[in-house]
Amino acid sequence: MGLQVPQRRRAWRHRGETANACHRRKAQHPNDVWAYDFVSDQTIDGRILKILALVDEFTREPLALFPARSIQAKDILTLLRTLFTRRGAPKAIRSDNGPEFVAQALQEFLEEQHVGTLFIAPGAPWENGIAESFNSRLRDELLDRELFVSLAEAKVILEKYRKHYIEERLHSSLGYRTPKEYIEHLEQTRSYPFNPNHATLS
C-alpha cells in the first residue's frame, strides 16, 4: 500500500587520496610498501572464489595468495599477523577503500604495528598499479587457464604459482631477474637498508 518506511542508508566515508598513489609514494626498499587487492574467480560448481593477493611493491614478490569463499577484515588481520611474524612489518600498505581494508579492527592493528595506510582515491585502481599489474598477470597466466575443482585445490595451485613467480619468473622492472635473484643482488650489494630478518617467502 506504499506505507513501507524507507531505511536510512549509512553514508560511506572514503579515505583515499591521490597523494597515496604508487607513482607518488613509491616503495624505496623491500618491506617499505606492500599492496593488496582482491581477484575474483570461481570453482567449476559455480561457487565464488575470492583471492586476496598481497605484493611487496619494491621486490614484486607475491607475499600471499589467499583464496576463500568470502574474505573479511578478520581474515586479512590473521594473514597479516602471520606475515609480520615471518617477515617483519612494512612501513605502509596500499589499498583501495574496500570495507575489508578500512575496517576499524584492521586499522587499529596496523596502527599498533606502526604500519601506515595508503588508501588510493576512490574509482582510481591505477593508483594501486603494482597490485593491479600483478593481478592482471595472475589472471592471464593462471586463472583464465585453470579450472578449480575445489577451494582446497585452488589453495595448492595458487601457492605453486606464487613460488614460481618468486623463483622463476623474470621481470623487466627488476633488470630481468626473478624477485628472488633481485633480493639476493640487493643484499650482496647492500643497495637498501639491510634487514637481517628479511627473507623471501618462497
- Say which range, 32-36, 162-166, 173-177, has the weakest mean pLDDT: 173-177
How far is 76 from 29, CA to CA, in rounded Å? Answer: 23
| Whole-structure pTM value | 0.85
pLDDT at 202 over 80: no
At 16, the pLDDT band (50, 70, 90 cuts) reads: low
Q: What is the pLDDT of residue 192?
A: 61
The answer to whether 51 touches 158, Cβ cutoff 8 Å, is yes
The tens digit of pLDDT for each residue in 75-109 reads 999 999 999 999 999 999 999 999 999 999 999 99
Strands laid side by side in the 48-56 sheet? 62-68, 48-56, 33-42, 92-95, 116-119
At 194, the pLDDT band (50, 70, 90 cuts) reads: very low
Q: What is the pLDDT of residue 18?
A: 86
